[in-house]
Structure 1
C-alpha cells in the first residue's frame, strides 16, 4: 500500500500528551505485532492474527486519547486486510485512521499548537485511499459519503477552497441519485460564495436548476418540478438572481440562460397564474422589485426590500442580498 509508505510512524516528540512509559509500551507492542509479519523459512505469517492485534491496540490507544498512535495502528491493520484481499476491512480501517488523524488535527488547532498540518495531510491520504477502495468495490455511494465527509471537514477548519473538489467528486459519484447529487452541488456553490468566486457559484446554481428541470419529477403535462426538486429549483432561482445583481455582467457577456432568467423579472412579464418562476407570488414580486431597484440604482428602495425579503431567504441568500446592497452603496466594487 503506497499510502503506508508516505505516512510513517512518527517520532516520540510528536506526541507530548502521551507519557514516555506509554510511548515505550506502545512501540514495544507495535513492533512485536509487526515482527509476526516478517517472512521466515518454511513459516507463513499469520496476517489475520496480526490484523486483529493491531485493531485491539488501536482501540486501547483511542480510549487513552492517543489518537495519532491509534491511527497508525489502523493503517497497519489496513495493510494486513489488503494482504488478505479483504477490501471491506481495508476500507473500514483506512476510514477509521482518517477520522483519528482528523480528530488529532482538530485537537492541535483547538490548542493553537504549532504544526505543519501533518495530521490533516495524513487524514486526507487515508480518505483518498479509502475512497479508491470503495470505487474498486463498485460502491460509489460509500465513496461519495467519504468525499462529503472530507469536504465538510475542510469547510469546518476554514478551508472551503480545498473542500470544493471533494463536494464535486461526491456529486459525480451520486449521478444515480439526483437529490443527493444536487445537495453536494449546493455545498460546492456555498464554498464558492465563501471564497468570493461568485461567477463559479452562479455556474453551479445554473447547472443545478437545469438538472432539476431535466431529471426531477414533474407535474403531468408541465415542465415544473415537484417535491424536493421544486424546493431546490426555487433556492437556485433566488440565488442566481441575487448573484446576477451582484455581478452585473454587461449585456454582451450575459449568457442566454441568465438573460432568460432576468427576463422573467421584467415588470410586464409577470403572470400570477404562471408557474414558470418556481416561486411564491409574494417572493417573486419582492425579488422583481429588487431587480428593478438595482437597475434604477435606487439604494433606499433596495434597503427597504432587504428588510421585507429577509424572512423568506436562507442565511446564504441574505448574505448575497447584503452584498448587493453594499455594492450599490459602494459602486466601485468594494462591497464585493
Structure 2
C-alpha cells in the first residue's frame, strides 16, 4: 500500500516527538535515528522518494547529535541520491518545477562531503552539477562557487582564479540588467562583486610574472593601478570604500609593504567574506615568508 501524506506525517511526527526533552528524561536519539531510517526504507520501497529523503535528513540530524560523522554523512548521501532520483523522475515526466529536488541533492552532498572532508570528490560533484545547470544560470553560478571554494581549500589557487573568472564572465553575460545599465542587478551583481574581490586577492597571492599574466587578469589589475584615470568608474559595482582598500592592497603588495598590508587587513576584515579573509591572510603570510608561489 502506498504511503499517503497523512500516514507519513503521523509516523514522522511520532518519531520526532521522541526527541523532545522531557523532565528528568533524556531523549533516545539513537532509537529515533533507527526509526527514521526504517521509515525511509519503507518509503523508498513505495517510490515515495522525496519523503524518504526527508527521513534520511532527520536521521542525519540524529547522527550529528550523537557525534557520529560517518553515520551523518551516509544518511546525507542517501538523502542526496533520493532527491536526485526524484528530480530525474520529475524531469522525465516533464512536470513543471523549480529544480528544488536537484538543489536539495546538491546541498546534501555538500554537507556530507564537509563531514568526510572529501574535497576532491566534492569538486567533481559540483563541477558536474554546474554542467547540468547551464539552463539555470544562478544555480550554475552557485555550484561553480562551490568548485572555487574546494580549489581554495585544496590550495589550487590557479584553478580557483580560473573558476572565479569564468563565474564573473557568466554573471555579466546572463545577469538581468536595468535599462541603460551594463551592470547586472540582484544576485548576479553579488556574484560579480564576490568574484572581483576574490580574483584580486588571488592575483596578489599568486603574483604571476608579467610574461605569464593572462590578458583577462592583466585587465583586472589595470583597474587598480594608481596611475589609471578615474579607475573606480571602471569598477562601479564595488563600493568606493572597498575599491580604494583593494587598490591599496594591490599597491602594498607591489611595494612589498608588510606594515601597510597588516593595517589594510584590519580595515577590510568586516567587509569581506570568510573565504576572502582567508585569502587575504594567505597574501599576508606569503609576504612574510615567500614560498615561490606562481602561475
1-side partners of 2:3 and 2:263: how far apart? Answer: 70
User: 1:105-120 residue pairs with structure 2 within 5 A?
Assistant: 105-109=63-67, 117=70, 120=73
RMSD: 3.2
Change (3 A) 1:279 1:160: farther
Matched position secondary structure for 1:109: coil
Conserved? CA contact 2:261–2:284, under 8 Å: yes
Query: CA offset at residue 119 of structure 1?
Result: 5.5
Conserved? CA contact 2:83–2:105, under 8 Å: no
User: 1:25-36 residue pairs with structure 2 within 5 A?
Assistant: none
After TM superposition, the structure 1 stretch with the greater mean CA deviation from structure 2, 53-62 or 233-242, is 53-62
Equivalent position of 1:149 in the other structure: 107
2-side partners of 1:50 and 1:273: how far apart? Answer: 59
- Flag structure 1 segments of 5+ consecutive residues without an equivalent: 1-46, 83-89
Query: CA offset at residue 95 of structure 1?
Result: 0.7
User: 1:73-84 residue pairs with structure 2 within 5 A?
Assistant: 73-80=39-46, 82=47
Normalising by structure 1, what TM-score? Answer: 0.69
2-side partners of 1:289 and 1:119: how far apart? Answer: 45
User: Which of 123, 127, 135 does residue 80 from structure 2 map onto?
Assistant: 127
Kindly provide the CA deviation profile for residues 170-190 of structure 1, in whole angstroms up to 9, marking residues without a partner as x: 544544443343334333333
Equivalent position of 2:55 in the other structure: 97
Equivalent position of 1:48 in the other structure: 2
Equivalent position of 1:299 in the other structure: 258
Query: CA offset at residue 221 of structure 1?
Result: 4.6
1-side partners of 2:186 and 2:79: how far apart? Answer: 37
2-side partners of 1:261 and 1:309: how far apart? Answer: 19
Change (3 A) 1:321 1:55: closer
2-side partners of 1:239 and 1:332: how far apart? Answer: 20
Conserved? CA contact 2:76–2:112, under 8 Å: no
Matched position secondary structure for 1:210: helix
User: 1:151-190 residue pairs with structure 2 within 5 A?
Assistant: 151-154=109-112, 157=115, 159=117, 161=119, 162-190=121-149
Kindly provide the CA deviation profile for residues 8-65 of structure 1, in whole angstroms up to 9, marking residues without a partner as x: xxxxxxxxxxxxxxxxxxxxxxxxxxxxxxxxxxxxxxx3379997886665445444
In our comparison, the structure showing a higher alpha carbon Rg is 1
1-side partners of 2:204 and 2:113: how far apart? Answer: 26
After TM superposition, the structure 1 stretch with the greater mean CA deviation from structure 2, 149-158 or 54-63, is 54-63
Normalising by structure 2, what TM-score? Answer: 0.77
Query: CA offset at residue 193 of structure 1?
Result: 2.5
Equivalent position of 1:6 in the other structure: none
User: Which of 150, 155, 163 does residue 204 from structure 1 map onto?
Assistant: 163
Q: How many residues align?
A: 275
- Flag structure 2 segments of 5+ consecutive residues without an equivalent: 19-28, 92-96
Change (3 A) 1:201 1:308: same
